[in-house]
Structure 1
Amino acid sequence: MTTSRATRRTETTQESRRLLIAAATELFAECGYRHTTFEDIASRSGVSRGSIPWHFGNKEGLLAAVVEHAVADLQSRTSALQPGTLHQALDALVEFTRSPEAKLFITLIAEALEPSSALHERYAFLHGALREQVRFWVEQTALPAGVGAEELSTILVGVVMGVHQQWRIAPDVVDLERTYAALGALLRSVGLDVATHPPR
Protein backbone atom coordinates (compact mmCIF):
# COMPACT_ATOMS: atom_id res chain seq x y z
CA MET A 1 0.00 0.00 0.00
CA THR A 2 2.81 2.41 0.89
CA THR A 3 4.54 1.67 -2.41
CA SER A 4 1.29 2.23 -4.28
CA ARG A 5 0.73 5.60 -2.59
CA ALA A 6 4.30 6.63 -3.35
CA THR A 7 3.86 5.65 -7.00
CA ARG A 8 0.64 7.65 -7.26
CA ARG A 9 2.32 10.63 -5.61
CA THR A 10 5.21 10.45 -8.07
CA GLU A 11 2.81 10.22 -11.01
CA THR A 12 0.81 13.19 -9.71
CA THR A 13 4.01 15.22 -9.27
CA GLN A 14 5.17 14.41 -12.79
CA GLU A 15 1.77 15.29 -14.24
CA SER A 16 1.69 18.60 -12.37
CA ARG A 17 5.13 19.45 -13.71
CA ARG A 18 4.07 18.54 -17.25
CA LEU A 19 0.93 20.69 -17.01
CA LEU A 20 2.89 23.65 -15.66
CA ILE A 21 5.49 23.44 -18.44
CA ALA A 22 2.77 23.16 -21.10
CA ALA A 23 0.87 26.14 -19.67
CA ALA A 24 4.03 28.24 -19.34
CA THR A 25 5.02 27.41 -22.92
CA GLU A 26 1.64 28.63 -24.20
CA LEU A 27 1.55 31.76 -22.05
CA PHE A 28 5.15 32.79 -22.68
CA ALA A 29 4.36 32.47 -26.41
CA GLU A 30 1.12 34.45 -26.13
CA CYS A 31 2.03 37.15 -23.62
CA GLY A 32 5.82 37.16 -23.31
CA TYR A 33 7.97 36.04 -20.41
CA ARG A 34 7.86 39.25 -18.39
CA HIS A 35 4.09 39.68 -18.64
CA THR A 36 3.24 36.13 -17.62
CA THR A 37 2.59 35.65 -13.90
CA PHE A 38 2.46 32.60 -11.68
CA GLU A 39 -1.27 33.26 -11.31
CA ASP A 40 -1.69 33.08 -15.09
CA ILE A 41 0.21 29.80 -15.26
CA ALA A 42 -1.70 28.29 -12.34
CA SER A 43 -5.02 29.26 -13.90
CA ARG A 44 -4.10 27.84 -17.32
CA SER A 45 -2.62 24.62 -15.96
CA GLY A 46 -5.14 23.90 -13.20
CA VAL A 47 -2.23 23.40 -10.79
CA SER A 48 -1.90 25.50 -7.63
CA ARG A 49 0.31 28.58 -7.74
CA GLY A 50 2.36 27.31 -4.81
CA SER A 51 3.40 24.27 -6.83
CA ILE A 52 5.39 26.40 -9.27
CA PRO A 53 8.24 27.43 -6.93
CA TRP A 54 8.14 23.95 -5.40
CA HIS A 55 8.82 22.38 -8.81
CA PHE A 56 11.06 25.03 -10.38
CA GLY A 57 12.38 27.30 -7.63
CA ASN A 58 11.48 30.55 -9.39
CA LYS A 59 10.29 31.94 -12.71
CA GLU A 60 13.73 31.61 -14.31
CA GLY A 61 13.81 27.96 -13.28
CA LEU A 62 10.46 27.47 -14.98
CA LEU A 63 11.82 29.18 -18.11
CA ALA A 64 14.80 26.83 -18.10
CA ALA A 65 12.45 23.84 -17.89
CA VAL A 66 10.36 25.18 -20.77
CA VAL A 67 13.41 25.66 -23.02
CA GLU A 68 14.92 22.29 -22.07
CA HIS A 69 11.58 20.62 -22.85
CA ALA A 70 11.45 22.34 -26.25
CA VAL A 71 14.99 21.22 -27.07
CA ALA A 72 14.18 17.65 -25.99
CA ASP A 73 11.09 17.78 -28.20
CA LEU A 74 13.18 18.87 -31.19
CA GLN A 75 15.72 16.11 -30.53
CA SER A 76 12.95 13.49 -30.28
CA ARG A 77 11.55 14.65 -33.63
CA THR A 78 14.92 14.28 -35.33
CA SER A 79 16.00 11.04 -33.66
CA ALA A 80 13.81 9.11 -36.12
CA LEU A 81 15.96 10.33 -39.02
CA GLN A 82 18.32 7.32 -38.90
CA PRO A 83 18.70 6.42 -41.71
CA GLY A 84 17.23 9.46 -43.38
CA THR A 85 17.45 12.05 -46.11
CA LEU A 86 17.58 15.79 -46.39
CA HIS A 87 13.90 15.65 -47.37
CA GLN A 88 13.05 14.01 -44.04
CA ALA A 89 15.16 16.54 -42.17
CA LEU A 90 13.30 19.42 -43.82
CA ASP A 91 9.96 17.74 -43.06
CA ALA A 92 11.01 17.61 -39.42
CA LEU A 93 11.78 21.33 -39.52
CA VAL A 94 8.32 22.06 -40.96
CA GLU A 95 6.72 20.03 -38.17
CA PHE A 96 8.79 21.76 -35.50
CA THR A 97 8.02 25.20 -36.98
CA ARG A 98 4.30 24.53 -36.51
CA SER A 99 4.69 23.50 -32.87
CA PRO A 100 3.78 25.69 -29.84
CA GLU A 101 7.41 25.52 -28.70
CA ALA A 102 8.59 27.12 -31.93
CA LYS A 103 6.07 29.96 -31.57
CA LEU A 104 7.47 30.60 -28.11
CA PHE A 105 10.91 31.41 -29.47
CA ILE A 106 9.56 33.93 -31.96
CA THR A 107 7.53 35.71 -29.27
CA LEU A 108 10.42 36.01 -26.85
CA ILE A 109 13.25 36.96 -29.20
CA ALA A 110 13.13 40.69 -28.40
CA GLU A 111 13.59 40.01 -24.68
CA ALA A 112 16.37 37.51 -25.39
CA LEU A 113 18.43 40.13 -27.22
CA GLU A 114 19.03 41.95 -23.93
CA PRO A 115 22.26 40.56 -22.41
CA SER A 116 20.92 40.96 -18.87
CA SER A 117 17.72 39.07 -19.63
CA ALA A 118 17.15 35.60 -18.21
CA LEU A 119 16.20 34.63 -21.74
CA HIS A 120 19.60 35.49 -23.22
CA GLU A 121 21.40 32.40 -21.96
CA ARG A 122 18.42 30.17 -22.74
CA TYR A 123 18.31 31.35 -26.33
CA ALA A 124 22.03 30.70 -26.71
CA PHE A 125 21.38 27.16 -25.46
CA LEU A 126 18.49 26.74 -27.91
CA HIS A 127 20.48 28.03 -30.87
CA GLY A 128 23.34 25.70 -29.98
CA ALA A 129 20.96 22.73 -29.90
CA LEU A 130 19.48 23.69 -33.26
CA ARG A 131 22.92 24.05 -34.84
CA GLU A 132 23.95 20.67 -33.42
CA GLN A 133 20.93 18.96 -34.99
CA VAL A 134 21.47 20.61 -38.37
CA ARG A 135 25.20 19.92 -38.26
CA PHE A 136 24.42 16.24 -37.73
CA TRP A 137 22.55 16.29 -41.07
CA VAL A 138 25.08 18.27 -43.10
CA GLU A 139 28.11 16.35 -41.85
CA GLN A 140 26.85 13.23 -43.64
CA THR A 141 27.79 14.58 -47.06
CA ALA A 142 30.74 16.26 -48.76
CA LEU A 143 30.54 20.04 -48.53
CA PRO A 144 31.61 22.48 -51.24
CA ALA A 145 35.07 24.00 -50.91
CA GLY A 146 35.13 26.82 -48.41
CA VAL A 147 31.92 25.71 -46.68
CA GLY A 148 32.27 24.31 -43.17
CA ALA A 149 29.63 22.27 -41.36
CA GLU A 150 29.48 24.75 -38.47
CA GLU A 151 29.02 27.76 -40.75
CA LEU A 152 26.43 26.03 -42.94
CA SER A 153 24.53 24.94 -39.84
CA THR A 154 24.43 28.55 -38.64
CA ILE A 155 23.15 29.69 -42.04
CA LEU A 156 20.44 27.01 -42.17
CA VAL A 157 19.23 27.76 -38.64
CA GLY A 158 19.04 31.43 -39.62
CA VAL A 159 17.02 30.56 -42.72
CA VAL A 160 14.61 28.38 -40.76
CA MET A 161 14.09 31.03 -38.08
CA GLY A 162 13.58 33.72 -40.69
CA VAL A 163 11.04 31.63 -42.61
CA HIS A 164 9.31 30.80 -39.34
CA GLN A 165 8.99 34.46 -38.41
CA GLN A 166 7.55 35.35 -41.81
CA TRP A 167 5.08 32.44 -41.62
CA ARG A 168 3.88 33.42 -38.14
CA ILE A 169 3.23 36.97 -39.34
CA ALA A 170 1.65 36.05 -42.70
CA PRO A 171 0.59 32.36 -42.65
CA ASP A 172 -1.77 32.90 -45.60
CA VAL A 173 1.09 34.17 -47.73
CA VAL A 174 4.07 32.02 -46.70
CA ASP A 175 3.70 28.32 -47.54
CA LEU A 176 5.99 26.34 -45.26
CA GLU A 177 6.03 23.15 -47.28
CA ARG A 178 6.79 24.89 -50.58
CA THR A 179 9.39 27.14 -48.97
CA TYR A 180 11.27 24.25 -47.37
CA ALA A 181 10.96 22.24 -50.58
CA ALA A 182 12.64 25.13 -52.41
CA LEU A 183 15.37 25.18 -49.74
CA GLY A 184 15.93 21.48 -50.26
CA ALA A 185 16.15 21.97 -54.03
CA LEU A 186 18.72 24.72 -53.56
CA LEU A 187 20.83 22.56 -51.28
CA ARG A 188 20.69 19.60 -53.65
CA SER A 189 21.62 21.85 -56.58
CA VAL A 190 25.04 22.39 -54.99
CA GLY A 191 25.42 18.73 -54.05
CA LEU A 192 24.19 18.96 -50.45
CA ASP A 193 22.03 15.93 -49.84
CA VAL A 194 21.99 13.46 -46.96
CA ALA A 195 21.84 9.90 -48.19
CA THR A 196 22.25 8.05 -44.89
CA HIS A 197 22.71 8.71 -41.22
CA PRO A 198 25.14 6.50 -39.29
CA PRO A 199 24.12 5.52 -35.73
CA ARG A 200 24.86 8.23 -33.17
Structure 2
Amino acid sequence: MSSRPRAEMIEETRAKLIASARQAFARLGYAKTSMDDLTAEAGLTRGALYHHFGDKQGLLAAVVEQIDTEMDGRLDAISAQVGDSWEGFVQRCRAYLQMAQEPEIRRIVLQDARAVLGQRLPAQEHCIESLERRLQALAEAGLISAAGGPALARLINGSLVEAALWIAAAEQPEPHLEQALAALELLLRGLRQA
Protein backbone atom coordinates (compact mmCIF):
# COMPACT_ATOMS: atom_id res chain seq x y z
CA MET A 1 0.00 0.00 0.00
CA SER A 2 1.24 3.48 -0.87
CA SER A 3 2.45 5.78 1.87
CA ARG A 4 1.05 8.82 0.03
CA PRO A 5 -2.22 10.28 1.26
CA ARG A 6 -5.34 9.34 -0.72
CA ALA A 7 -6.15 12.99 -1.45
CA GLU A 8 -2.73 13.45 -3.04
CA MET A 9 -3.23 10.39 -5.27
CA ILE A 10 -6.70 11.60 -6.29
CA GLU A 11 -5.35 15.03 -7.20
CA GLU A 12 -2.49 13.47 -9.17
CA THR A 13 -4.92 11.31 -11.16
CA ARG A 14 -7.17 14.32 -11.89
CA ALA A 15 -4.15 16.39 -12.94
CA LYS A 16 -2.92 13.65 -15.31
CA LEU A 17 -6.33 13.33 -16.94
CA ILE A 18 -6.73 17.09 -17.33
CA ALA A 19 -3.22 17.48 -18.77
CA SER A 20 -3.73 14.63 -21.23
CA ALA A 21 -7.17 15.92 -22.25
CA ARG A 22 -5.90 19.45 -22.65
CA GLN A 23 -3.21 18.30 -25.08
CA ALA A 24 -5.59 16.04 -27.00
CA PHE A 25 -8.41 18.60 -27.21
CA ALA A 26 -5.97 21.26 -28.42
CA ARG A 27 -4.39 18.94 -30.99
CA LEU A 28 -7.42 17.00 -32.27
CA GLY A 29 -10.47 18.87 -31.02
CA TYR A 30 -13.11 17.54 -28.66
CA ALA A 31 -15.03 15.45 -31.21
CA LYS A 32 -11.98 13.59 -32.53
CA THR A 33 -10.43 12.89 -29.13
CA SER A 34 -10.76 9.23 -28.18
CA MET A 35 -11.24 8.61 -24.47
CA ASP A 36 -9.40 5.29 -24.78
CA ASP A 37 -6.37 6.99 -26.37
CA LEU A 38 -6.49 9.87 -23.91
CA THR A 39 -6.59 7.64 -20.82
CA ALA A 40 -3.92 5.33 -22.20
CA GLU A 41 -1.69 8.34 -22.85
CA ALA A 42 -2.19 9.40 -19.23
CA GLY A 43 -1.41 5.86 -18.06
CA LEU A 44 -4.89 5.49 -16.57
CA THR A 45 -8.14 3.68 -17.28
CA ARG A 46 -11.43 4.92 -18.68
CA GLY A 47 -12.90 4.07 -15.29
CA ALA A 48 -10.66 6.70 -13.70
CA LEU A 49 -11.97 9.30 -16.13
CA TYR A 50 -15.60 8.42 -15.37
CA HIS A 51 -14.94 8.29 -11.63
CA HIS A 52 -13.36 11.76 -11.49
CA PHE A 53 -15.27 13.65 -14.22
CA GLY A 54 -18.44 11.67 -14.95
CA ASP A 55 -17.92 11.71 -18.71
CA LYS A 56 -16.06 13.36 -21.57
CA GLN A 57 -18.09 16.57 -21.16
CA GLY A 58 -17.15 16.73 -17.48
CA LEU A 59 -13.51 16.40 -18.43
CA LEU A 60 -13.87 19.18 -21.01
CA ALA A 61 -15.48 21.41 -18.36
CA ALA A 62 -12.49 20.78 -16.05
CA VAL A 63 -10.03 21.64 -18.84
CA VAL A 64 -11.95 24.83 -19.66
CA GLU A 65 -12.00 25.80 -15.98
CA GLN A 66 -8.21 25.34 -15.80
CA ILE A 67 -7.61 27.43 -18.92
CA ASP A 68 -10.07 30.11 -17.74
CA THR A 69 -8.24 30.33 -14.41
CA GLU A 70 -4.92 30.73 -16.23
CA MET A 71 -6.41 33.38 -18.54
CA ASP A 72 -7.77 35.29 -15.55
CA GLY A 73 -4.33 35.18 -13.89
CA ARG A 74 -2.71 36.51 -17.04
CA LEU A 75 -5.30 39.28 -17.31
CA ASP A 76 -4.82 40.20 -13.62
CA ALA A 77 -1.06 40.46 -14.22
CA ILE A 78 -1.63 42.73 -17.24
CA SER A 79 -3.93 44.99 -15.21
CA ALA A 80 -1.47 45.08 -12.31
CA GLN A 81 1.47 46.08 -14.55
CA VAL A 82 -0.26 49.31 -15.51
CA GLY A 83 -0.24 51.94 -12.77
CA ASP A 84 -3.41 53.67 -13.98
CA SER A 85 -6.64 51.77 -13.17
CA TRP A 86 -8.42 52.88 -16.35
CA GLU A 87 -5.51 51.94 -18.60
CA GLY A 88 -5.23 48.62 -16.73
CA PHE A 89 -8.89 47.94 -17.52
CA VAL A 90 -8.42 48.87 -21.20
CA GLN A 91 -5.32 46.66 -21.53
CA ARG A 92 -7.14 43.78 -19.87
CA CYS A 93 -10.00 44.01 -22.40
CA ARG A 94 -7.55 44.22 -25.31
CA ALA A 95 -5.55 41.24 -24.04
CA TYR A 96 -8.71 39.13 -23.75
CA LEU A 97 -9.43 39.72 -27.44
CA GLN A 98 -5.81 38.97 -28.36
CA MET A 99 -6.02 35.65 -26.50
CA ALA A 100 -8.74 34.56 -28.95
CA GLN A 101 -5.97 33.93 -31.49
CA GLU A 102 -4.03 31.52 -29.27
CA PRO A 103 -4.60 28.00 -30.66
CA GLU A 104 -5.46 26.31 -27.34
CA ILE A 105 -7.89 29.05 -26.22
CA ARG A 106 -9.33 29.35 -29.71
CA ARG A 107 -10.09 25.67 -30.10
CA ILE A 108 -10.91 24.50 -26.57
CA VAL A 109 -12.51 27.51 -24.88
CA LEU A 110 -14.05 29.47 -27.75
CA GLN A 111 -15.03 26.70 -30.14
CA ASP A 112 -15.40 23.26 -28.56
CA ALA A 113 -16.55 24.33 -25.10
CA ARG A 114 -19.20 26.63 -26.55
CA ALA A 115 -20.48 23.89 -28.86
CA VAL A 116 -20.39 21.08 -26.28
CA LEU A 117 -21.13 22.79 -22.98
CA GLY A 118 -23.61 25.36 -24.30
CA GLN A 119 -23.97 29.10 -24.04
CA ARG A 120 -23.26 29.46 -20.32
CA LEU A 121 -19.72 28.29 -19.67
CA PRO A 122 -18.79 27.27 -16.11
CA ALA A 123 -16.49 30.21 -15.36
CA GLN A 124 -18.59 32.88 -17.09
CA GLU A 125 -20.42 34.01 -13.94
CA HIS A 126 -17.06 34.38 -12.19
CA CYS A 127 -15.82 36.54 -15.08
CA ILE A 128 -18.91 38.73 -14.95
CA GLU A 129 -18.60 39.18 -11.17
CA SER A 130 -14.92 40.06 -11.53
CA LEU A 131 -15.73 42.57 -14.28
CA GLU A 132 -18.49 44.08 -12.14
CA ARG A 133 -16.02 44.61 -9.27
CA ARG A 134 -13.54 46.29 -11.64
CA LEU A 135 -16.23 48.56 -13.04
CA GLN A 136 -17.38 49.44 -9.52
CA ALA A 137 -13.81 50.42 -8.61
CA LEU A 138 -13.60 52.58 -11.74
CA ALA A 139 -16.93 54.23 -10.83
CA GLU A 140 -15.75 54.86 -7.25
CA ALA A 141 -12.62 56.50 -8.67
CA GLY A 142 -14.83 58.75 -10.80
CA LEU A 143 -13.50 57.31 -14.06
CA ILE A 144 -16.85 55.97 -15.33
CA SER A 145 -20.49 56.59 -14.49
CA ALA A 146 -21.81 54.59 -11.55
CA ALA A 147 -25.09 53.93 -13.37
CA GLY A 148 -24.19 50.63 -15.04
CA GLY A 149 -23.89 48.04 -12.27
CA PRO A 150 -24.45 44.37 -13.13
CA ALA A 151 -26.06 45.21 -16.48
CA LEU A 152 -22.96 47.07 -17.65
CA ALA A 153 -20.73 44.15 -16.65
CA ARG A 154 -22.93 41.76 -18.64
CA LEU A 155 -22.98 44.06 -21.68
CA ILE A 156 -19.20 44.48 -21.73
CA ASN A 157 -18.57 40.78 -21.04
CA GLY A 158 -21.04 39.79 -23.77
CA SER A 159 -19.38 42.15 -26.23
CA LEU A 160 -15.92 40.80 -25.45
CA VAL A 161 -17.02 37.16 -25.62
CA GLU A 162 -18.89 37.63 -28.90
CA ALA A 163 -15.92 39.45 -30.44
CA ALA A 164 -13.56 36.70 -29.21
CA LEU A 165 -15.82 34.04 -30.76
CA TRP A 166 -15.84 35.99 -34.03
CA ILE A 167 -12.04 36.21 -33.99
CA ALA A 168 -11.64 32.53 -33.12
CA ALA A 169 -13.98 31.40 -35.91
CA ALA A 170 -12.12 33.31 -38.63
CA GLU A 171 -9.73 31.50 -40.97
CA GLN A 172 -7.61 34.65 -40.85
CA PRO A 173 -8.17 35.97 -37.30
CA GLU A 174 -5.78 38.94 -37.51
CA PRO A 175 -8.10 41.27 -39.52
CA HIS A 176 -10.98 40.42 -37.19
CA LEU A 177 -8.78 41.15 -34.17
CA GLU A 178 -7.78 44.53 -35.61
CA GLN A 179 -11.41 45.44 -36.23
CA ALA A 180 -12.45 44.25 -32.77
CA LEU A 181 -9.68 46.25 -31.07
CA ALA A 182 -10.74 49.41 -32.95
CA ALA A 183 -14.39 48.85 -31.99
CA LEU A 184 -13.37 48.17 -28.38
CA GLU A 185 -11.54 51.49 -28.27
CA LEU A 186 -14.68 53.26 -29.47
CA LEU A 187 -16.86 51.41 -26.94
CA LEU A 188 -14.54 52.14 -24.01
CA ARG A 189 -14.11 55.77 -25.02
CA GLY A 190 -17.88 56.15 -24.62
CA LEU A 191 -17.73 54.57 -21.18
CA ARG A 192 -15.06 56.91 -19.82
CA GLN A 193 -16.14 59.97 -17.82
CA ALA A 194 -15.01 63.29 -19.31
**Fold equivalence (TM over 0.5):** yes
How far off is 1:64 after superposition?
A: 3.7
The Cα shift of 1:172 comes to: 4.6
**Residues 1:56 and 2:57 are matched in the alignment:** no
Question: Cα 1:53–1:75, aligned 2, differ >3 Å: closer, same or farther?
Answer: same
Give the structure 2 partner of residue 152 of structure 1: 152
Question: Do the aligned partners of 1:141 and 1:192 also contact (CA within 8 Å) in 2?
Answer: no
Task: From the superposition, tell whether residues 13 and 90 of structure 1 become closer, same or farther in structure 2 (CA, over 3 Å).
Answer: same
Q: Distance in 1 between matches of 2:125 and 2:134?
A: 15
**Alignment of 1:75 onto 2:72:** yes
Q: Which residue of 1 aligns with 2:192?
A: 191
Partner of 1:117: none
Compared CA separation, residues 97 and 15, structure 1 to 2 (3 A)? farther
Residue 103 in structure 1 maps to residue 95 in structure 2: no
Larger RCO: 1 or 2 (CA < 8 Å, sep 6+): 1
Aligned position for 1:20: 17
For residues 94-150 of structure 1, the C-alpha deviation after alignment (integer angstroms, 9 at most, x for no partner) is: 35424424532322323434xxxxxx7xx34322122123223322223447x5232
Q: Whole-Å Cα distance in 1 between the matches of residues 116 and 59 of structure 2?
A: 16
Q: Give the whole-Å Cα distance in 1 for the aligned partners of 2:183 and 2:57.
A: 39
* Contact kept in structure 2, 1:70 and 1:101, CA below 8 Å: yes
Superposition RMSD on alpha carbons, in Å?
Answer: 3.7
| CA contact 2:167–2:177 (8 Å) conserved in 1 | yes
| Count of aligned residue pairs for this structure pair | 178
Residue aligned with 1:48, SS: coil
SS of equivalent to 2:123: helix
Mapped pair 1:6 → 2:4 = yes
CA distance 1:58–1:186, change in 2 (3 Å): closer
CA deviation after TM superposition for structure 1 residue 15, in Å: 5.4
- Counterpart secondary structure, 1:184: helix
State whether structure 2 residue 90 is matched by structure 1 residue 87: yes
Q: CA deviation at 1:182?
A: 3.8
State the Cα distance separating 1:17 from its structure 2 match: 3.3
Q: C-alpha distance in 1, partners of 2:126/2:99?
A: 13
Residue 166 of structure 1, CA deviation: 2.1
SS at match of 1:67: helix
Superposed CA offset, 1:24-52 (max 9, x none): 2354464436x644214225x44323442
Percent identity over the alignment is 23
Letter in 2 for 1:65: A
Report the alpha carbon displacement of residue 54 of structure 1 after superposing the two structures with TM: 4.8
The one-letter code matched in structure 2 to 1:162 is: E
Contact 1:71 1:129 in 2 (8 A): no
Query: Do the aligned residues in 1 keep the contact of 2:18 with 2:62 (CA within 8 Å)?
Result: yes
CA separation in 1, counterparts of 2:116 and 2:58? 17
Q: Distance in 2 between matches of 1:181 and 1:15?
A: 44
